């Protein structure tokens, strides 16, 4: 209290009390208001924020109960939304294309090999791997080879949120010396088993029954993923059928697949998914953030298309006083047609240039839909940009429209290439490289590849397994400028011929050199023209340095 408060306390206690109450209210407001984000994103008093009651929980609680719905809607969009199809296929085509190709990169210095010996071993490994990779016998279903399985796995990963590759082994044959087999399954089949179908497990009664417990091990099962007390993944529960399938009449059963072999440490199942949050065990579909927008745009586009079709006809609506089940053109009572029966003789439909005679009591009202709407194209373009930004697919690639300037188009390609390289890096580390290491282990074990020390020291094994995976190259808007820039990078030591060959064409510099030697000899022998000269930058030199 200050001197003024003491004065009022003595001469006017009522006013002194009012001042004290006001001071208390002011201190309370200052204590609970105007602190940090309370005036912005965390405000509960602003009108724009009052109805926003966000209540996020763990990754499992926020994701797992809703995965089934997200998958079904994502698949529906892929079957009905052009923008959704474009986004997914653009990612898959640029990241994987026709499949990532192996380029063995043995750590020859660590292994004590000469560069020439290492090159010979790398060529031998790549040749042997092609025998395995190009055969459809590596697919458990005998439908796809290794390069065809890659876009299938990548597409399933993006569409459904995750994809699983079961590792199986069969007896080698005379035409396929390797027993390694790959069995791709969608995320729907990895689920928490129910008590009526599997012994040793129990459900905990949570939302959508995504959480269970393995009574034999004491581990919890989160949406088909069994984890130990430390949170580490130890097994996956795979159902023998889709849960909502009506075509398979077999009894529903679950199989427990251990994540890693107890003796070798090799994976028994590969799980492809993006982790957005800590302690997340299942992936979210690629289209999840924009499902609502894509569906609304699809409805809007269909409405505009139908309106344009109606406008293209000379369309009229019949205003009649007859009962609703009476054909206005014939006066007959119509029945219901079915998809399995031909339409009744009295059924009719609108069409261009159609004229009919009206019945008494009927009038004609001309349809005027005023379509297409003038703002349709601009609205779709704006929404495509928003969706593209959320999915990290630039508008130019999403709409396949490169009408902007060279600089703008190139900037869009460069921005897209950043995300494509990230997707490719995840895919080759989670799918291609593990499968390659499993194959190489088998090749060494059966004696088709000689790799001393492979099974003795894991560091030696890693040196033998070192590899790169080559995929589709970045698009070129101006090939001349791109080649000139590549030549300058090589000339100044910023890059190598091998790196630039891979980046520009996806080919092999060593193979190009060998092929150039053959071509030069043929041209010289035929006397067609003098031997090819080395261009500026030495990009296709006929001799190896």
Which one is predicted more confidently, 297 or 530? Answer: 297
pTM of the model: 0.77
272: exposed, middle or buried (Cβ count in 10 Å: 0-12, 13-18, 19+): buried
d(CA 135, CA 148) in angstroms, rounded, equals: 10
Displacement of CA 60 from its chain's centroid (Å): 20
* Upper half-sphere CA count for residue 63 (Cβ side, 13 Å): 22
Residue bearing tokens 């890096």: 425
pLDDT band at 425 (very low <50, low <70, confident <90, very high): very high
**Does residue 43 register a pLDDT over 80?**
no
Q: Residue 197: what pLDDT?
A: 45
Q: Residue 545: what pLDDT?
A: 39
**Does residue 208 register a pLDDT over 90?**
no
Q: Residue 184: what pLDDT?
A: 96
Q: Is 254 helix (H, G, I), strand (E, B) or coil?
A: strand
CA-closest candidate to residue 153, choices 305, 143, 486: 143
**Does residue 205 register a pLDDT over 50?**
no
| Positions of E strands within 310-414 | 316-319, 363-366
Give the bridge partners for 167, in sequence order. 182
**Does residue 533 register a pLDDT over 60?**
no
Exposed e or buried b per residue across 530-545, where buried means at least 16 C-beta atoms within 10 angstroms of its C-beta: eeeeeeebebbbeeee
Which one is predicted more confidently, 207 or 14? Answer: 14
What percent of the chain lies above the pLDDT cut of 70? 79
11: exposed, middle or buried (Cβ count in 10 Å: 0-12, 13-18, 19+): exposed
**Does residue 514 register a pLDDT over 90?**
no
**Does residue 338 register a pLDDT over 60?**
no
Residue bearing tokens 């001393």: 452
**Does residue 284 register a pLDDT over 90?**
yes
Across 202-219, average pLDDT: 73
Exposed e or buried b per residue across 438-459, where buried means at least 16 C-beta atoms within 10 angstroms of its C-beta: bbbbbbbeeebbebeebeeeee
Query: Domain residue spans in the chain?
Result: 62-66+130-288, 302-389, 478-545
pLDDT tens for each residue of 150-170? 999 999 999 999 999 999 999
pLDDT band at 543 (very low <50, low <70, confident <90, very high): very low
pLDDT band at 367 (very low <50, low <70, confident <90, very high): low
The highest-confidence range among 185-189, 370-374, 413-417, 515-519, by mean pLDDT, is 185-189
Average pLDDT value over all residues in the chain: 82
Residue bearing tokens 């390609």: 413
Longest dimension (CA), the chain: 123
Cα distance from N-terminal residue to C-terminal residue, the chain: 91
Are 416 and 94 within 8 A, CB to CB?
A: yes
Across 438-463, average pLDDT: 94
pLDDT tens for each residue of 50-60? 777 778 888 88
d(CA 35, CA 39) in angstroms, rounded, equals: 7
pLDDT band at 2 (very low <50, low <70, confident <90, very high): confident
CA-closest candidate to residue 322, choices 275, 359, 283: 359
pLDDT tens for each residue of 465-491? 999 999 888 776 667 777 877 788 888
Q: Residue 222: what pLDDT?
A: 92
pLDDT band at 544 (very low <50, low <70, confident <90, very high): very low
Across 111-124, average pLDDT: 92
Which one is predicted more confidently, 540 or 143? Answer: 143
pLDDT tens for each residue of 402-411? 877 778 888 8
d(CA 244, CA 250) in angstroms, rounded, equals: 13
**Does residue 452 register a pLDDT over 90?**
yes
Q: Residue 346: what pLDDT?
A: 47
Across 230-258, average pLDDT: 86
Q: What tokens does 461 get?
A: 């094994």
Across 365-384, average pLDDT: 76
pLDDT band at 189 (very low <50, low <70, confident <90, very high): very high
């Amino acid at each position: 209290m200050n001197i003024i408060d003491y004065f009022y306390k003595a001469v006017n206690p009522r006013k002194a009390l009012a001042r004290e109450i006001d001071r208390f209210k002011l201190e309370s407001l200052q204590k609970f208001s105007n602190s940090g984000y309370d005036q912005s994103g965390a405000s509960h008093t602003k009108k724009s924020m009052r109805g926003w009651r966000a209540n996020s929980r763990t990754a499992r609680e926020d994701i797992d109960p809703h995965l089934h719905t997200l998958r079904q809607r994502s698949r529906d969009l892929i079957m009905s939304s052009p923008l959704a199809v474009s986004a997914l296929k653009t990612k898959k085509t640029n990241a994987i294309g026709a499949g990532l190709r192996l380029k063995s990169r043995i750590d020859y210095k660590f292994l004590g090999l000469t560069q020439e010996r290492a090159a010979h071993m790398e060529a031998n490994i790549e040749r042997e791997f092609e025998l395995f990779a190009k055969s459809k016998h590596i697919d458990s279903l005998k439908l796809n080879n290794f390069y065809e399985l890659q876009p299938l796995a990548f597409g399933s990963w993006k569409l459904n949120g995750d994809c699983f590759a079961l590792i199986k082994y069969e007896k080698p044959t005379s035409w396929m010396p390797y027993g390694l087999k790959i069995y791709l399954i969608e995320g729907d089949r990895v689920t928490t088993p129910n008590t009526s179908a599997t012994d040793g497990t129990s459900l905990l009664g949570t939302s959508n029954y995504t959480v269970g417990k393995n009574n034999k091990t004491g581990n919890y099962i989160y949406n088909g993923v069994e984890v130990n007390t430390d949170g580490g993944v130890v097994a996956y529960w795979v159902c023998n059928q889709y849960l909502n399938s009506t075509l398979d009449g077999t009894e529903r059963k679950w199989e427990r697949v251990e994540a890693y072999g107890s003796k070798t440490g090799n994976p028994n199942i590969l799980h492809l998914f993006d982790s957005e949050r800590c302690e997340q065990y299942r992936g979210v579909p690629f289209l999840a953030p924009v499902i609502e927008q894509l569906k609304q745009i699809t409805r809007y586009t269909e409405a505009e298309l139908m309106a344009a079709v109606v406008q293209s006809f000379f369309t009229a609506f019949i205003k009649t006083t007859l009962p609703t089940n009476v054909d206005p053109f014939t006066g007959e009572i119509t029945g219901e047609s079915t998809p399995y029966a031909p339409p009744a003789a009295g059924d009719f439909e609108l069409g261009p240039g159609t004229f009919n005679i009206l019945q008494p009591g009927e009038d004609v009202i001309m349809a005027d839909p005023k379509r297409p709407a003038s703002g349709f194209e601009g609205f779709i373009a704006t929404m495509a940009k928003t969706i593209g930004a959320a999915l990290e697919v630039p508008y130019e690639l999403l709409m396949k429209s490169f009408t902007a300037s060279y600089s703008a188009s190139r900037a869009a390609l460069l921005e897209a290439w950043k995300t494509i390289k990230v997707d490719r890096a995840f895919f080759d580390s989670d799918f291609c490289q593990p499968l390659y290491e499993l194959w190489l282990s088998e090749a060494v074990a059966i004696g088709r590849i000689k790799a001393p020390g492979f099974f003795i020291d894991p560091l030696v094994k890693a040196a033998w397994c070192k590899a790169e995976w080559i995929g589709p190259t970045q698009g070129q808007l101006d090939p001349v400028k791109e080649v000139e820039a590549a030549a300058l990078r090589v000339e100044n030591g910023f890059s190598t011929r091998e790196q630039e060959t891979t980046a520009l064409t996806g080919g092999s510099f060593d193979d190009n050199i060998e092929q150039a030697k053959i071509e030069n000899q043929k041209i010289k022998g035929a006397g067609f023209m003098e031997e090819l000269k080395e261009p500026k930058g030495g990009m296709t030199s006929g001799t190896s340095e």
